[in-house]
Amino acid sequence: MLFTYLRRVGMGLIRMRTGKRFGGLLISVILALLGFRYKESVFTSLTGWFPGIPTWLCFGIWGLVLLLPVFYLGAVGGHEAKNPYEAAFAAVGFKSKDGQYPFLVKKRKEKKSRRFARKEKKRKEHYIFSSTIPMSDWVANKEKLETALDCNILHFEEGKSKRITRLVTVPSECRIPTMINWDDSKLSKKEGVVVLGEGAIETISFDLNKTPHMLAAGETGSGKSVILRSCLWQMICQGARLYMIDFKGGVEFGKRYEQFGEVVTDYERARDVLQMLVKENKMRLDLFRDLDCKNLPEYNKKTGKHLARIGLACDEIAEMLDKKGADKEKRAILEELEGLLSTLARLSRATGINLLLGVQRPDANVLTGQIKNNIPIRICGRFADKSASEIVLGNSSAVYLPDIKGRFLFKLGNETVDFQAYYFDDDINLRDDVAVEQGNMLLDEAGPSRSTREEPAKKREPLAGRRKKEAEQEDGGGIILNGLVYTGDGDEPSFDDEMPF
């Protein structure tokens, strides 16, 4: 009995956080303080009103006055104390071992997000339940719970207490697709914006001009590398210069990516590239400061120049930063690489030098604070253990993701969103006959300071901004259809050919 009442008091405290009924609590506290301060007056008044009243009864009434805030919280916590979802849980047989149904602590609808375009009636709802049911049982009974609550559950989250479970849901008509093939119609028209996939009620994207770096984590087969290549392709179509670090001998990116940027396969060359980018970044910072430009687009707009966005991609960052088992010489190079990468992560937010990093097995010794804390975009696939999820996201949500290839969590700031990543197939989507014009680097203008191993940037016909063109026109040796340049290699497409994207 006492435990039940204390639980109601606790519920009342939780409901006080919303600001509702706070006035009543304030009044009860004031009355209790007055009763404590003017004890003698209370006793005098009672004996005056009720002559012959026993002293013990006066103490009892006085004590009740002091406990007014507790009684008020109990009343608030007990309001609608009958579990509104008890019948729903009973219908699907979801209860604890002692026969208790989860108790609704709080239910709230998400506010409109500035980051994602959502319709008013299709916002997410958060259910917070208190129970002794372990998280594994919640996850195992996902379909039953969706039936009981008439919704689709995006993911489960643990509270600070193991008795608290949070369900992030959307209306039952909203679902996350299980497979979405990439096609170039999904390219953003805005420079620097990269789209990743589809959530239940939103398209997931981010703006490199505002959030410059990305970390994608996922176990083997999760689709992490597919996300990375999709991002690279979008940067290619926007005219960015790319440097792709692949210490697996270039297998991950392959020769086809070499036409769009340099594929780095050894540590010495990686060091040269990072040193060059740090120097380029310093020159850009100085130039932007002199011209009072806040970022790359503002500089290009103000000067009329085409300073290139630069993408540095690494599919497995552990190969660059993990020093375990390294000899003295290699350790020295790895430490230098880590320092250069940390510098770029910290200082290249405005200069248009963007890091796209992947990791298969997150480790606190590999993802140091200086690097991780300066990467605002976190993308995380399913992990079997909580530690990996907590390193990437700061919570254990990735453990409870459904085992669907391409299903990820997107975290930016405090918001975590489930989504299905676009499936980017190199054989279909990496178009060798599509050309884009890359911008310039300040080091190009400063003279031949780059390594001779780096080939000069290729000049390509711009693609972004011309995708709506349906007219057929001659352009050098190729033909432009729908904004794509065909070089004439192989079969010539006719004007009526269906475009394969």
Q: Can you give the pLDDT at residue 491? A: 40
Q: Can you give the pLDDT at residue 365? A: 78
The helix (run of H) or strand (run of E) holding residue 151 is strand 151-158
Does pTM top 0.85 for this prediction? Answer: no
Domain stops at, among 115, 149, 171: 171
Residues 69 and 92 in one domain: no
Binding site per annotation, positions for ATP:
218-225
487 pLDDT more than 50:
no
The answer to whether residue 486 is domain-embedded is no
Residues 73 and 98 in one domain: no
Predicted confidence band of residue 112 (pLDDT cuts 50, 70, 90)? low
Residues 32 and 142 in one domain: no
The answer to whether residue 51 is domain-embedded is yes
pLDDT tens-digit readout, 30-67: 888 988 888 888 888 888 888 888 888 888 888 888 88
The partner residues of 416 in beta bridges, in order of sequence, read 411
The CB-based long-range contact list for 116-121 (8 Å cut-off, 24+ gap) reads 116/199, 116/201, 116/202, 116/203, 116/204, 116/417, 117/202, 117/203, 118/201, 118/202, 119/201, 121/171
Enclosing domain of residue 300: 184-446
Residues 299 and 228 in one domain: yes
Residues 72 and 221 in one domain: no
Q: What is the mean pLDDT of residues 204-231?
A: 93
- The most confident of the ranges 82-96, 226-240, 323-337 is 226-240
Residue 358 in contact with residue 316, Cβ under 8 Å?
Answer: yes
**Residues present in the chain in total:** 501
The answer to whether residue 501 is domain-embedded is no
pLDDT tens-digit readout, 329-370: 889 999 999 999 999 999 998 999 999 999 988 887 778 777
* Integer Cα distance of 312 and 452 in angstroms: 19
Q: Can you give the pLDDT at residue 468? A: 38
Q: Can you give the pLDDT at residue 10? A: 73
Residues 6+ apart with CB under 8 A from 421: 180, 196, 197, 223, 226, 227, 230, 406, 407, 408
The answer to whether residue 454 is domain-embedded is no
232 pLDDT more than 80:
yes
Residues 152 and 244 in one domain: no
The answer to whether residue 432 is domain-embedded is yes
CATH number at 332 reads: 3.40.50.300
Q: Please report, rounded to a whole number, the percentage of residues in the chain having pLDDT higher than 90.
A: 42
pLDDT tens-digit readout, 120-169: 457 889 999 999 999 989 989 999 999 999 999 988 888 888 899 999 99
Residues 91 and 239 in one domain: no
Please, what is the Cα angle at 453 between 448 and 457, to 5 degrees?
65
Residues 119 and 53 in one domain: no
Q: Can you give the pLDDT at residue 458? A: 47
CATH number at 102 reads: 3.30.980
Q: Mean pLDDT, the chain, as a whole number? A: 82
Q: Please report, rounded to a whole number, the percentage of residues in the chain having pLDDT higher than 70.
A: 82
Predicted confidence band of residue 444 (pLDDT cuts 50, 70, 90)? confident
319 pLDDT more than 80:
yes
Alpha carbon distance, N-terminus to C-terminus of the chain: 66
Domain stops at, among 56, 78, 100: 78
Specify the 3-state DSSP secondary structure of 115.
coil
How many angstroms from the chain centroid is the CA of residue 500? Answer: 31
Q: For the chain, what is the domain count?
A: 3
Domain stops at, among 397, 414, 446: 446
479 pLDDT more than 70:
no
Residues 23 and 157 in one domain: no
Binding site per annotation, positions:
218-225
13 pLDDT more than 90:
no
More confident residue, 193 or 330: 193
Q: What is the DSSP string of 220-275?
A: TTSSHHHHHHHHHHHHHHTT-EEEEE-TTTTTTTTGGGGGTEEEE-SHHHHHHHHH
The answer to whether residue 451 is domain-embedded is no
* Integer Cα distance of 63 and 274 in angstroms: 72
Q: What is the mean pLDDT of residues 429-444?
A: 81
* DSSP category for residue 202: S
pLDDT tens-digit readout, 114-131: 444 444 457 889 999 999
Q: Can you give the pLDDT at residue 117? A: 47
Q: Can you give the pLDDT at residue 82? A: 58
pLDDT tens-digit readout, 249-282: 767 787 889 889 999 999 999 999 999 999 999 9
Q: Can you give the pLDDT at residue 467? A: 42
Q: What is the mean pLDDT of residues 211-232?
A: 92
Predicted confidence band of residue 496 (pLDDT cuts 50, 70, 90)? very low
The answer to whether residue 327 is domain-embedded is yes
Residues 92 and 71 in one domain: no
